[in-house]
Structure formats: structure tokens, C-alpha cells
Chain A
Amino acid sequence: QVQLVQSGAEVKKPGASVKVSCKASGYTFTSYGISWVRQAPGQGLEWMGWISAYNGNTNYAQKLQGRVTMTTDTSTSTAYMELRSLRSDDTAVYYCAREWYSSSGWWFDPWGQGTLVTVSS
């Protein structure tokens, strides 16, 4: 079955960087993109950006431009999200999700299990 498995929880100090991985299985990795979504404690969902697993093209949310980098390793079917210059308000659960795109729209299915990133001094 299609599955996205993410790396484990991280605790980082303000100003540090974090890199979260998302390993895909059950489908042809390069046929779909991967989006990253985060959710602060008790808050809603925030789209962070997207990467094409086919050619590496990216589209980042404007508020994260310059701090986020998304990459893929097609040899291991793994996507990565690195966030730099961490602040306390970056504390959140980070999700990866497989992107579906067609003429009728753009949606995410399935999602990874989530990775809690805690930023604290």
C-alpha cells in the first residue's frame, strides 16, 4: 500500500536547523510531487511548499522563502525538508503528503504520520 514514513521527533535550539525525512513506498516516487504541511500546537494546517520528485522543481510559501529547502533522493524514494534559523514559533508537527494533480485540481493523499519539531532554549 502507498505509505509515507517520516523521521522521528526533534528538539532544537533557536537559530539551529532541522531536516525532516519522508520515505515513500508503494508507488513510483518520481510520478508524484511531495508537499510539506505544518501544524503548530492546537492550531490549524499551514502549507509550506512543494517539490516535484520528477525534476526537483520547488514552490515555497512566501513566508518561508529563504529559510526552507525541500529536496528529494530518488535512489531511496525519500523527500527531505530543511528549515533553518529556527524560532519558537516553528514548533509544530510537520507532515509530508503525496500530491495529486489533475485538470480537476490539486490535493494531498496520503499523508505521513507527522514529525514533532520542538524549538526551545
Chain B
Amino acid sequence: QSVLTQPPSASGTPGQRVTISCSGSSSNIGSNTVNWYQQLPGTAPKLLIYSNNQRPSGVPDRFSGSKSGTSASLAISGLQSEDEADYYCAAWDDSLNGLYVFGTGTKVTVL
């Protein structure tokens, strides 16, 4: 089961700013960087943010990430209809033999 906790849903109207939180612990977010993945309906996940706040080439600057302590957040500014998707945070976890953990996922709806 997921060890990173996200709100199950978030929504906004076009143009609004939406923020998604991701809560972890000292063994994962507290000691490692956070990544965010976007999963459009019926497709494979896509890397959105890596190393807390870095955007891969091609990702619009409307998407931004931040991290503080054992929590992280993803912000989508200027929300667009094509942003309607599931969003997952993720990080390496140093517990046991080490494993990569994902958040519970947040469904973003554009109203």
C-alpha cells in the first residue's frame, strides 16, 4: 500500500490555480527528492516533475513542484481542460531494502 498520502481529488475552473499535497515521512520525502507523474485517462504515466521542482523538456511551466520537510506539493496554475488527469507523487524510501513509493493519487477535475 502507498506510504505517501495525497487528497483523492482536487478541482478548479479553467485558469484557476490548483495545488496537490503529498505527505510522507523521514524515510522517504524527508531524505530523498520527490517526483510527480501525470496519468491521463487510459494512458501510461508521464514524468511531470523530478528532483522536487525540475520540469522535463516539454512540460509547460504552469506545473511547479516544491518540497518542505516530509511534505511536497504540486501546483498547476492557469488550469486547462487537458490537465484533467490523475497525479501521483513518488520518492525513494530508505526503509527495509529500499523501495520506490508512490502517493495514493489525486484526480484533478476541470469544472
- B44 and A109: CB pair below 8 A? no
Give CA–CA (A50, B100) in the complex, Å.
9
Contacts of A62 in B (CB 8 A): 96-97, 99
Q: How far is the CB of B87 from chain A (nearest CB, A)?
A: 11
Report A56-96 CB contacts with B as 1/0, cut-off 8 Å: 00010110000000000000000000000000000000010
Within the assembled complex, what's the spacing in Å between the Cα atoms of A92 and B90? Answer: 19
Known pairs A35-B100, A62-B97, A113-B44; A107 contacts B2 (CB<8 A): no
Q: How far is the CA of A35 from the CA of B47 in the complex (A)?
A: 14
Proximity bits, B26-68, A CB within 8 Å = 1, else 0? 0000001101010000001111001110101000000000000
- Determine whether the beta carbon of A45 is less than 8 Å from that of B88: yes
- Whether A105 touches B51, Cβ cut-off 8 Å, given contacts A111-B46, A114-B44, is yes
Residues of chain A with a CB closer than 8 A to B105's CB: 44-45
- What total count of A-B pairs have CB within 8 Å? 68
Min CB–CB distance A65 → chain B (angstroms)? 9
- For A50, list chain B residues within 8 Å (CB): 100
Determine the distance from Cα of A107 to Cα of B89 in the docked complex, in whole angstroms.
11
Shortest CB distance A47–B (Å): 4
Using CB atoms, name the residue of chain B closest to A108.
Answer: B47
In the complex, chain A residues whose CB is within 8 Å of the CB of B51: 102, 104-105, 107
Q: A44-B105, A46-B102, A95-B44 are in contact. Are A107 and B96 (CB under 8 A)?
A: no
A47 close to B46 (CB less than 8 A): no
Give Cα A6–Cα B97 distance, bound, in whole angstroms: 28
Kindly identify which residue among B44, B50, B56, B101 contacts A47, using a CB–CB cutoff of 8 Å. B101
Residue numbers of A with Cβ under 8 A of B are 35, 37, 44-47, 50, 59, 61-62, 95, 97, 100, 102, 104-114
CB pairs A–B below 8 angstroms (23 shown): A35-B100, A44-B88, A44-B103, A45-B90, A45-B105, A61-B99, A97-B45, A104-B33, A104-B51, A104-B54, A105-B32, A105-B51, A105-B52, A106-B32, A106-B92, A106-B100, A107-B51, A107-B90, A108-B35, A108-B45, A110-B47, A112-B44, A114-B44
